[in-house]
């Protein structure tokens, strides 16, 4: 496993030549497919760093924004890919990634490097890598953590899976969009890191929220809860950086009526991927499976709220003296 981090002063780009990368962003053509909340600002950062970006998204508003950001908008995904040295995808789910690979792989130059940054099943990521290899190309899974704020600021954490030499070739480009880039292992293992991290985050947010609601019932104020737990053994990132009740962490979504942030719909999706992986690999992951159920239920009513709003659901379901 290798890790790379950078500051603005070392940002650069890379041109893939014969499997190696030269640090020359201006000469590297990047096809960027999927210009949504995440992909739009990520593509804009590549343009800013000097890459020639050929962008595609079926949504006209996303195309307009990409033009304003300085990308060239292609008529089709295939025509963007045909000219590219590296293809980055940032798409909603694994089905769409696999369908799009099926559509564009034959249009790419031999040996093109495909980098999928979407959050998808480990099995789908491995299938995507196989399809790319069978078509004479190279592939990495490189999902991200850090949300829209990280995508905009170029400070995402990338978790990559694939061959070491392909990771090395993608690194200059990933360092433009990210603050930390980790090569986690072979194909699919980047997605494994993403799924494990987000399963833990979902579990810890539920656990924290249950503790906060219990504290409320027992007469413990949020400020005193934070004061004690933030430096005691129950401490977590969910509490100290993303506190689910207003007050202790002013920047957390709780202070803004739970506007995301990281929407419940996305946490529900990631916990669904984790649940599949737990079941598919025979892991006795009872808490992970329960967390997936709890978020799936909450998602039916509040998909657009930040995932930390689960505390409001737990509070509501705890009304009355005894359950
Ligand atoms: P989004 O829905 O805003 O963007 C997805 C984009 O893909 C849309 O603009 C859509 O039009 C486009 N698209 C769909 N089919 C396409 C096709 N065939 N060709 C080209 N474009 C196509 O989603 P997002 O929030 O940007 O998330 C993208 C991925 O990143 C997801 O897998 C998500 O789980 C992951 N992710 C999101 C966040 C977040 O905070 N939003 C954080 C980490 C990871």
User: DSSP readout, 171-200?
Assistant: HHHHHHHEEEEEEEESTTHHHHHHHHHHHH
pLDDT tens, 197-250?
Answer: 999 999 999 999 999 999 999 999 999 999 999 999 999 999 999 999 999 999
Is 109 known to be catalytic? Answer: no
Quick one: average pLDDT of 120-135? 97
Instruction: Give just the sign of the alpha carbon dihedral 33, 141, 147, 215.
Output: positive
Q: What is the CATH number of domain 192-318?
A: 1.10.1040.10
- Rounded to two decimals, the pTM is 0.90
Residue from 266, 274, 307, 308 to probe ligand 1 pocket by mutation (most atoms less than 8 Å from CB): 266
Provide the total of helices (H) and of strands (E) in the chain, helices listed first.
13, 12
What gap in Å lies between CA 95 and CA 114, rounded to an integer? 16
Which pLDDT does position 321 carry in this prediction?
Answer: 60
What gap in Å lies between CA 158 and CA 172, rounded to an integer? 12
Number of other CB atoms surrounding residue 1 within 10 Å = 9
Name the CATH architecture for the domain at 9-185.
Answer: 3-Layer(aba) Sandwich (3.40)
pLDDT tens, 80-94?
Answer: 999 999 999 999 999
Residues with CB under 6 A from ligand 1: 33-39, 56-59, 62, 77, 90-92, 96, 100, 118-119, 144, 147-148, 262, 266, 269
Q: Which of 29, 109, 194, 305 is catalytic?
A: 194
With 70 as the cut, is the pLDDT of residue 64 above it?
yes
Residues of the chain with CATH 1.10.1040.10: 192-318
pLDDT over 90 for what percent of the chain? 88
pLDDT tens, 148-200?
Answer: 889 999 999 999 999 999 999 999 999 999 999 999 999 999 999 999 999 99
**For residue 261, which atom of ligand 1 is closest to its CA?**
40
Which pLDDT does position 25 carry in this prediction?
Answer: 74
């Amino acid at each position: 496993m290798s890790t790379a981090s950078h500051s603005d002063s070392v940002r650069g780009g890379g041109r893939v030549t014969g499997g190696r990368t030269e640090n020359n962003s201006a000469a590297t053509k990047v096809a960027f497919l999927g210009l949504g909340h995440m992909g739009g600002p990520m593509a804009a950062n590549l343009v800013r760093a000097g890459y020639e970006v050929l962008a595609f998204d079926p949504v006209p508003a996303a195309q307009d924004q990409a033009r304003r950001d300085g990308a060239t908008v292609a008529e089709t995904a295939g025509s963007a890919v045909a000219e590219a040295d590296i293809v980055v995808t940032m798409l909603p789910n694994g089905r769409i990634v696999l369908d799009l690979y099926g559509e564009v792989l034959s249009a790419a130059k031999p040996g093109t490097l495909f980098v999928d940054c979407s959050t998808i099943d480990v099995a789908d990521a491995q299938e995507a890598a196989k399809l790319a290899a069978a078509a004479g190309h190279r592939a990495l899974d490189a999902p991200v953590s850090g949300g829209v704020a990280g995508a905009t600021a170029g400070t995402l954490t990338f978790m990559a899976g694939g061959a070491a030499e392909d990771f090395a070739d993608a690194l200059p480009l990933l360092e433009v969009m990210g603050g930390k880039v980790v090569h986690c292992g072979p194909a699919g293992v980047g997605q494994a890191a993403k799924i494990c991290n987000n399963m833990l985050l979902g579990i810890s947010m539920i656990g924290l929220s249950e503790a906060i609601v219990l504290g409320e019932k027992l007469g413990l104020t949020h400020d005193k809860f934070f004061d004690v737990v933030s430096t005691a053994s129950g401490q977590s990132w969910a509490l100290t950086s993303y506190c689910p009740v207003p007050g202790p962490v002013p920047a957390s979504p709780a202070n803004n009526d739970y506007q995301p942030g990281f929407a419940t719909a996305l946490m529900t999706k990631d916990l669904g991927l984790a649940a599949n992986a737990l079941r598919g690999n025979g892991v006795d992951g009872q808490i992970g499976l329960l967390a997936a159920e709890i978020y799936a239920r909450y998602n039916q009513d509040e998909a657009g709220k930040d995932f930390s709003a689960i505390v409001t659901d737990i509070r509501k379901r705890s009304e009355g003296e005894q359950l």
